[in-house]
């Protein structure tokens, strides 16, 4: 899954987006000027002479909302957690309504996937998670995430639970460096509860965390077959698509260059690898993997289930 630097497609963008190893397109704030420009950009991507690309965006609300002017301002998910303590029914209704708003507004542009909801529990130590989390309580997180996902789904969008197996108990920002979770195994595993609940509901996709859980498994979770194949798929029974977190992030850099990161992620079981904000590395990775990588039919089938299903009028 790759990005582009501007607000319209260049010849190089088109060439890369048509490469057979590219299956997705992710949008950022820099790609947005106004609704008319965004519609043309998305239409141009969908019109490329190739099998349809999966189009996605981080649009959680609060600090993480890529499109603002011309879009409804979505509050941080923590606000629903606070409201839940005062009026649970109202909080659930609001969470669903905001999910519906995001779904309606994004699907109008042909966007398939919102990388939300955050299922991390907030332990009050991670600034990069913070108010992106619904709550520090499992039960509240599960109920609100279910309501939010139902809203997305009602408007045709797929959901992505993140960041498996839990990013809320580490201080470091994985965009910049590798966070290391030194908690006991049983404490780390307690964070699986919201993910398990949404998996049981049939959530469409998951995004892995660039976090090392030192007392569980030495490899970073996003590059770990223990976490992806062993825990997520076999133990928890997840059947949907697995996204690595962005391989350009500092949390993944400790294992080597972009090719080394990508191969580890693929071997571990990730279905799609976002590679963002580094065009030179993107091109080099495509060239390197293009020599020997063969399509994963099972992974492709899982990803195709994420394409937007627009609701009936």
Instruction: Give how far Cα 304 sits from Cα of 53, 59, 113, 185, Å.
Output: 9, 20, 11, 35
Nearest to 142 by CA among 58, 186, 209, 80: 80
Three-state DSSP at 282 gives helix
Distance CA 272, CA 93 (A): 32
Q: Which of 175, 257, 287, 310 is catalytic?
A: 175
Catalytic one of 181, 245, 246, 271: 245
First-last CA distance in the chain? 31
Q: Is 278 a catalytic residue?
A: no
Euclidean distance between CA atoms 106 and 152, whole angstroms: 10
Asked about 175 being catalytic, the answer comes back as yes
CA distance 7 to 132: 27
Q: What is the CA radius of gyration of the chain?
A: 18
Burial-class residue 37 by CB neighbours within 10 Å (0-12, 13-18, 19+). Answer: middle
Nearest-angstrom CA–CA distance, 122 and 125: 8
CB-based contact 260:271 (threshold 8 Å):
no
- As a whole number of angstroms, the distance between CA 169 and CA 162 comes to 14
Both tokens of 225, joined, read: 């077959």
Query: Per the structure block, which two tokens stand in for 212?
Result: 């090392």
Catalytic residues: 175, 245
């Amino acid at each position: 899954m790759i990005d582009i630097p501007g607000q319209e497609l260049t010849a190089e963008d088109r060439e890369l987006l048509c490469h057979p190893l590219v299956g997705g397109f992710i949008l950022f704030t820099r790609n947005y000027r106004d609704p008319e420009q965004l519609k043309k950009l998305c239409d141009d991507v969908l019109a490329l002479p190739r099998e349809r690309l999966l189009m996605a965006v981080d649009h959680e609300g609060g600090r993480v909302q890529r499109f603002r002017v011309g879009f409804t301002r979505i509050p941080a998910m923590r606000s629903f957690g606070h409201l839940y303590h005062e009026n649970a029914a109202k909080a659930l209704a609001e969470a669903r309504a905001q999910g519906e708003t995001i779904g309606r507004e994004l699907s109008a542009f042909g966007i398939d996937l919102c990388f939300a909801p955050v299922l991390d529990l907030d332990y009050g130590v991670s600034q990069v998670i913070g108010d992106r989390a619904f709550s520090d309580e499992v039960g509240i997180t599960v109920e609100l995430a279910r309501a939010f996902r139902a809203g997305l789904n009602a408007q045709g969008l797929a959901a992505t639970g993140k960041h498996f197996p839990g990013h809320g108990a580490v201080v470091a920002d994985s965009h910049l460096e590798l966070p290391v979770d030194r908690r006991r195994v049983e404490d780390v595993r307690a964070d699986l509860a919201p993910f398990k609940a949404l998996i049981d509901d049939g959530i469409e996709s998951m995004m892995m965390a660039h976090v090392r859980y030192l007392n569980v498994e030495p490899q970073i979770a996003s590059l770990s077959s223990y976490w992806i194949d062993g825990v997520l798929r076999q133990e928890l029974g997840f059947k949907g698509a697995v996204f690595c977190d962005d391989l350009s992030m500092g949390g993944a850099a400790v294992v080597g260059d972009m090719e080394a990161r990508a191969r580890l992620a693929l071997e571990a079981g990730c279905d799609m690898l976002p590679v963002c904000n580094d065009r030179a590395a993107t091109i080099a990775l495509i060239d390197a993997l293009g020599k020997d990588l063969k399509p994963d039919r099972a992974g492709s089938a899982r990803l195709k289930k994420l394409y937007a299903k627009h609701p009936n009028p």
